[in-house]
Structures are given as C-alpha cells and as structure tokens.
Amino acid sequence: MKRAAVLIAIALLISCEREERGFRVQPPQADRINSKQLTTLQPGESIPQQVVVNEYEQNAFALTEGKRLFSQMNCVGCHANGGGSIGPALMDAKWIYGSQPDQIFATIVEGRPNGMPSFHGKLPDYQIWQLAAYVRSLSGQTPKDAAPGRNDNMQVKEPENSKDREKPNDASLPKSAERPE
C-alpha cells in the first residue's frame, strides 16, 4: 500500500515535467558536437561519439511548438504531414541522414542535397531543437505521453501519440550516414 502511494507520487512528479513550459530554457544537452560528422573515419585515434539527448522530446509543450513550426515554416510543403511528397517521408523507418536528434538538427540547420533548404540563421537554435523533437515523434521515437494527440486543423492521419515506434532501419542508410555502435 505504502509502496503504491510512493509510486503514484513519483508518477505524478514525472508527469509535472511533461507539461512544463520552459519559455526561456534551452535543452541542456543541446550542443552540436557531433552534428557535422557524417563518417566514422577520423585521423589518429578516433574520438568516441557522444549520444546527444534532446530533452524537448520528453516535453509536451516543446513537441507541440515543434508541430506548429513544422507547418508554419512550411516543412509540410515538401514532407506533407510526415508521409512525404516532394521530400522524403518522416514517419517511416528510413533515415537518409540519421535518426539521432543531433543528426536531425544538423539536417535542418545545414540543409541537404536535392532540395532540403538550410535553416541556418533563419530560426533560433531552440526552435530547431523543438522541430527535431517533433520530427522524431512522427515515427514514434518520442514518449507517447508527451507526443501531440491532435491537430489544430483537420486530422489527416493518426495522431503522433498513437504512432507505433518505427525501428530505424540501418540497412537502408547510405554508408555515409551510419553511426558507430
């Protein structure tokens, strides 16, 4: 009984952060150390790659802000609502330039050949991290309790929080986009 109460208290505390609205906070780990590295080859001893955690992925507010930017910055123009049209689909298991948060950040900031524009200097970093978090929620990579549950406009597909998690399929990646285990 006591244990259950403690568990409930912990669950409540965790869910507090989910709804927190950090208007003036950047995600703490949001640096771009690895973002430019698309190969494992390095001169000399190789530096082990760090995993960058985008804390916005745990936060419902940041994810919905990412969703708003996804349509307001016209990502939908090419990627549609995640299903892809001119640009590649974002809700499947295939990640051409990597599925990690920092790789998505780099893709948005730097742009990619054959059409992905560079948003360098066009959006503040924290909004790009919000976008990166939302892009990952499209294929179910973010916790379901934080992912958006509905659209502001007409619902065109199942909401992000009912999307089953896609396993990023490394076999389909070009060699250059692979990450070392």
Partner 1 sequence: MKRTKSKLSIVVLACAALASCGGPQNALDSAGVQAGRLETLWWVFFWVCAVVYVIVMAILVIAFLRNRRADEKSAPELLPDPAREQRVSNIVKGAVGISIIVLFTLMVLSFRTGRAVNSLSYAESPIEIRITGNQWWWDVEYRDPVPSMNIRTANELHLPVGRPVKLNLQSTDVIHSFWLPNMHGKIDLIPGYETTFFFRPDEAGTYFGQCAEFCGYQHAKMRFAVTVESQEDYEKWAAAQRQVPPPPVDPLQQRGQQIFLTSVCTQCHAVAGTTANARVGPDLTHIATRHYIAAASMHNVHDHLKTWITDPQRIKPGVRMPMNTYAEEDLNALVTYLENLK
Nearer to partner 1, 95 or 126 (CB): 126
Rounded to 5°, the CA angle 30-34-35 comes to 75
Q: Does 73 bind partner 1 (CB under 8 A)?
A: yes
Question: Which of residues 124, 150, 162, 176 is near partner 1 by CB under 8 A?
Answer: 124
Nearer to partner 1, 54 or 141 (CB): 54
Question: Which of residues 32, 36, 122, 150 is near partner 1 by CB under 8 A?
Answer: 122
Name the segment binding partner 1 (CB under 8 A); options: 35-43, 79-87, 102-110, 120-128. Answer: 120-128
Question: Of 129-168, which residues contact partner 1 (CB under 8 A)?
Answer: 152
Name the segment binding partner 1 (CB under 8 A); options: 12-20, 21-29, 35-43, 170-178. Answer: 21-29
The footprint of partner 1 (CB under 8 A) covers 21, 23-24, 72-73, 121-124, 126-127, 152
